[in-house]
Amino acid sequence: MVKRVIDPVKDKAPSRSKDEHVNKRAKGSTTRKVHTPSPFNRTEAGKLMTFGMGDNNQLGYPTNAGGRKKPYIIPTTADIDFVQVECGGMHTAALSSEGKVYTWGVNDEGALGRKGPEAVPILVEGELAEKTVVQVSCGDSHTAFLCSDGSVYHCGIFRAKDGKFGLQYDNPDKKSVPLPVQVTLVPGRHDSKPYVIKIVSGADHVVALTDSGDVYTWGCPEQGRLGRSFKLGDVDDMRFSSLIRESCKGVKVFSLKDLTMDGFTYKVVNIAAGAYHSFAQLESTYDKTDTKLFAWGANNKGQSGLGNDQIKDVDAEGGTDRYRPVEVTLCPLPVTMLAAGNAFSIALVQKSVYATGKGEDGVLGNNSESHSMGDDGVNTWVSTHVPTHVTPKEISCGTEVSYILTTDGDVYAWGFGENLQLGNAEKVDEPTDSLLVPTLLDGHQLTNRKVLQISAGGQHTALIAKGPGPPPRDAPAATKAK
């Protein structure tokens, strides 16, 4: 409660009777914390485009199994303005400027959060009908929704390596959830109700950041992706149900709460998730330029940015997976933004981009296919070959591809090309070739438009672009929108 400082002269009030004072105290007063809108909410709106493979309805419109090599506006949503789009394994969720979510793609196990045709974007309603959604995130078979009141909803299913894992902690026998339900977030004993300001999804887990700097995780616990010290292992049915109850509700990663190092306290200010690993960026409460980076989860290819030589004495469980957060000391700081894919990660550090993890198909963007971690377990963050004239604004990753979004609204892509997610048909011998360095992504529909955001899934990519678009074929060529 905020106490008002009273000036005995300016605030002098007429005397009250004893009864008046008693009645005033009896009525009491309550002060509700006013939450400011999340700085991670996107507000600039544009038109929705997709490209890549479309054989499982990923593109939002009927197409042949060959997919689409260049970004193309989804016809049925051409009149809707969107502020965010997120791709899952084979489905997509797009957030409109009105706070409504449209989904399409594979709806196995309820990932779309709605009934109806899968091939075109359709509004998600149910419990979200009266809500204003401000963020979405997608995994392999789930979708999460962050609402303006700080609550989180999700639908679909989390999977484990041996099959279906679950989604609802209070109903472990019901594996999938076809319509959005609210996620239970369990605060600490002395914590207030969590108010979430950011959500990100891995393949089968979700990470959430609150306005107080707490990190909550839920989903499949395999490989340590929840940042809590327990393994799935071989368990009987009773223990498995208990694990679902423990894993599928949001629980704090307590070791990230108000970390004190070298006499200074650090607070989590940002989060990111790869398929099976996660990151947290921390900032000193004394000096915002003093930052730390922590990671947990899978690290078999060095994707968490850790070398096995760094952590062999840290985690008693052994192996390469990290079951609790470990400080990443190899990545250059301060990190502006993090993004991660299947077994690699990239970091935006001022105007440079660094990458770590597996190197096949050029996913590190350093003109090589070598892993960042050697056979000796020593890892490095390699420098991605960003063109000298490019100023990165954001970065994004799909399963095996990466993108740089520039301050001019251009996109540079690199990585695995077989799924047509690079927009590189005329730059290589075959449109399915991979790119080992960031290369400009272009297309007719991007003419006179600037890209606001881009997201990639397993085999498809979606973006939001702003501007009038290409001129008629017989009109003079237009320039890029600014």
The 3-state DSSP class for residue 340 equals strand
Assign 466 a pLDDT band (cuts: 50, 70, 90). very high
The rounded mean pLDDT for the chain is: 85
Percent of the chain exceeding pLDDT 90 equals: 61
The CATH code of domain 47-466 reads 2.130.10.30
Return the closest-CA partner of residue 352 out of 313, 388, 307, 299.
388
What is the structure's pLDDT at 243?
61
| Whole-number pLDDT of residue 318 | 52
| Residue 333 to residue 349: CA distance in whole angstroms | 7
* Distance from the first to the final alpha carbon of the chain: 45
Percent of the chain with pLDDT over 70: 81
pLDDT at residue 2 in the model: 40
Q: Residue for token digits 């272009």?
A: 442
pLDDT digits (tens, 9 = 90+) for 100-155: 999 999 998 999 999 999 999 999 999 999 999 999 999 999 999 999 999 999 99
Per-position DSSP letters for 425-479, written without gaps between them: TTTSSSTT--EEEEEEE--GGGTT-EEEEEEE-SSEEEEEEES--PPPTTSPPPP
pLDDT at 115 (0 to 100): 95
166 pLDDT tier (thresholds 50, 70, 90): confident
Q: Which of 468, 464, 478 is nearest to 47 (CA)?
A: 464
Q: Could you please report the per-residue DSSP string of 351-409?
A: TEEEEEE--GGGTT-SS----SB-TTS-B--EEP---TT--EEEEEE-SSEEEEEETTS
Domain ranges of the chain: 47-466
Average the pLDDT over 438-463 and give the result: 96
pTM: 0.88
The tens digit of pLDDT for each residue in 39-80 reads: 999 999 999 999 999 989 999 987 666 689 999 999 999 999
Which of 203-207, 252-256, 475-479 shows the lowest per-residue confidence on average (mean pLDDT)?
475-479
> In the prediction, which pLDDT does 319 show?
67
pLDDT at position 237 over 50: no
Per-residue pLDDT at 264: 86
pLDDT tens digits for 279-303? Answer: 999 999 889 889 999 999 999 999 9
Interval 380-406: pLDDT, tens = 899 999 999 999 999 999 999 999 999
Identify the DSSP state of 223.
G
Q: Can you tell me the distance from the alpha carbon of 422 to that of 437, in angstroms, rounded to the nearest whole number?
A: 11
